Chain A
Amino acid sequence: MSSVHIPGRRETAASFTLLAILALIAAGIWIVHRQAVLAAEPERSPGPGEPAGSGLPSVLPDGLVVLSPPEAFDSSSLSGKIDGKADYYLTSGFVALHCQRFAQKDSPDAWFEVYLYKMGEPKNAFAVFSGQRRESAETLDFPGQAYRSGNALFFLRGSYYVELIACSEEPSLRAALLRYATGLRSVLEGDEPESPTEEDFFPGAGAVKGSLTLSASDAFGFDGFDGLWTLSIHQDNQPLLAFAKPCASVEEAVALAETYGRHLLSIGAKRLPPPEDLPDLEMYDVFGQRELVVRTGARLSGIHEADEEAAALALIRRMLDSIQHTEDPAHGPR
């Protein structure tokens, strides 16, 4: 008759020790092997002539010629085109990038490059468009969201974000950019993005035109602020940065307000008592600046790093007053 062997404690301990050693050896082999493979692989950077998939739509206006073959990049190869900036796009929903250079027919040294970013959703495209908007942006006679900045032209179309970067500010080249952009926009698929306006989040006068920005992730260095909207507003001659964060539910907004408050306190902020007429306001002293946070329904609103407390309070009062008159403050903009 057979019997069942019952291992003793020492035997069990020795077995687990051996298993742990084997696991460590396996992990070590994997790490060393991975390092060798990565060192041997070149960066995925398509060179001239490499097929670029669907590429850019063919919209070459008269007077322009192709300077270089099309290139295409996906999320694994994007850094082979824009290096360290790739992470910015990757955290904003990046899908694909198509690029190509063109030159003026009568002046080959006058060239520009087109960057067509496919961002998956219109709000992702707006995030990278607004997050990189140049201070000196010139408004442009162009449909939808677009601006010109020196040698470059930027526009949105549905879930596409497009950059046209020229080698100079020469007037004929600037005109060529506009012609190309107009043609490209007309063939890009996608409805007009439901781009929010200042009024959607921050009602009232005083907003700096074109300053509405969507941060896809980690706004203000806080990892809970994904999809945060900000807007520059002048109040009592003070430049202020207002913010709004729509949440999925009231509970989520409550929790986020608490987490953000703990984050501020952890970096050295001090909680201040709110004014009597704003009992729900959370106010913090952050190294001499004021951070204001208030929840209305499922939305957090606030003022970031204000130099003047009085101006910040005046603006938050105005914002709250306007929010109370909006139709659906719980769900933010369109």
Chain B
Amino acid sequence: MAPADQEPWSRRVFLARAVKAGATLAAASAAAAWWHERQAPDRGEEEEETVTLPDFSIPALRGLMAIVEGSDRAVCVRRGIEALGGINRFIQPGDRVLLKVNAAFASAPGIGATTHPALVTCLVRLCYDAGATVVRVTDNPINDPDSCFRLTGIGQAAEESGARLVLPRPGAFRPTTVPGGRFLRNWPLLHEPFSGITKLIGVAPVKDHFRSGASMTLKNWYGLLGGRRNLFHQDVHGLIRELAQMVRPTFVVLDGIQSMRTNGPTGGSFDDLRPTHTLIVSTDGVAADAFGATLLGRRAADLPYLGLAAATGAGTVDYESLRPRRLAADTGGRA
């Protein structure tokens, strides 16, 4: 029965409408066929299972921080770790340790854009001295990995100290999702180096960064991502928040013996560096970075990602609340 506001359809109207409806369906189907990709984007594997990094922190050791003044990186990091109770509090016999360095650029160690090889050597040896059975060193650099690990001196330092260098390769990534994350959803994570790992140490230099304001221990986890991660720079603070949520290390080392105050994150001239004679060892990456901001002449409030990371429970911006141990490591520095 026809609705009250219209007359019954005639045969001609019915046929005309049927033809129009058919044409619409055909056009929609043709459009769908045109845009349909018969193969999903190739991720190198068929269907990969999403992975989540374990929490590598030690609950009883959360909120520890040492601020060491000096000029010799190896001496400073040793003194800093001793001040927090010694390496044996963090690394136990049989542990398998991953050292996440910043090897982002194929530049010389003196440029200060990457983790200093002296720190790699020292940390690897400390881990083995504590009884670690395996120590790996890894990063997914911005530039080509071979050149980065060779020219920064990190590759040589790792190998000479007995660590295994794990370079990124296509099959080394697995998708990961940060709960509630906007960016890291089924995103490729450099996962292969984590196989069997029980402890994670992050070690990064203090650097200016054009986008995020600074690149220190939290931004260093960016090197665990694959894919077109550079697109995240549009909201780099939000990304670092998710990185802080994704990675909970055993401890971090922030190298401010020299700090890249300008033209980061690449630098280029030695004049971009300022001697700041400070190295931080902490189980709280947010606190370490909040202090590191001061080495760049900035306040923690100038780096929005710190507050965002703290809100995830990754640490505290108020590093003084941790009552950091302050010590002078050698006579070459200010102390």
Contact = CB atoms under 8 A, between A and B. Distances in A.
Nearest to A1: B10
B29 interface: no
B108 interface: yes
A83 B187 CA distance: 19
Contacts of A84: 209-212, 215, 233, 236, 264-265
Contact of A88 (B186, B210, B215, B227): B210
A168 B264 CA distance: 19
- Quick one: which of A84, A150, A163 has the most chain B CB within 10 A? A84
B266 A40 contact: no
Interface in A1-60: 1-3, 5-6, 8, 35-48
A167 B108 contact: yes
B39 to A, nearest CB: 11
Nearest to A5: B6
Contacts of A80: 142-143, 230
Interface string A74-108: 00000111111111100000000000010000000
B131 interface: no
User: Which of under 10, 10 to 19, 20 to 34, or 35 or more describes the interface residues of A?
Assistant: 35 or more
B227 A150 contact: no
B32 to A, nearest CB: 11
Given A38-B227, A150-B270, A165 B143 contact: no
A47 B13 contact: no
Nearest to B185: A35
Contacts of A83: 104-105, 142, 230, 265-266
Contacts, number: 136
B42 A40 contact: yes
A191 interface: no
B227 A149 contact: no
Contact of B210 (A43, A85, A135): A85
Prevailing SS type, chain B contact patch: loop
A86 B230 contact: yes
Contacts of B230: 43, 79-80, 83, 86
Contacts of A136: 271
A152 B230 CA distance: 27
A68 interface: yes
B5 interface: yes
B13 A169 contact: no
Contacts of A3: 6-7, 10, 13
Given A39-B41, A43-B227, A83-B142, 10 more contacts: A2-B12, A3-B13, A6-B6, A35-B186, A42-B226, A43-B228, A45-B144, A81-B143, A150-B270, A167-B110
Which 10 A-B residue pairings sit nearest by Cβ, starting from the closest?
A167-B108, A150-B270, A79-B230, A84-B211, A40-B41, A47-B144, A149-B269, A152-B269, A39-B227, A3-B7
7 contacts: A2-B9, A8-B5, A46-B144, A83-B105, A83-B230, A86-B233, A168-B108
Interface of B: 5-7, 9-10, 12-13, 40-43, 104-108, 110-111, 142-144, 146-147, 151, 175, 185-188, 209-212, 215, 226-231, 233, 236, 262-266, 268-272
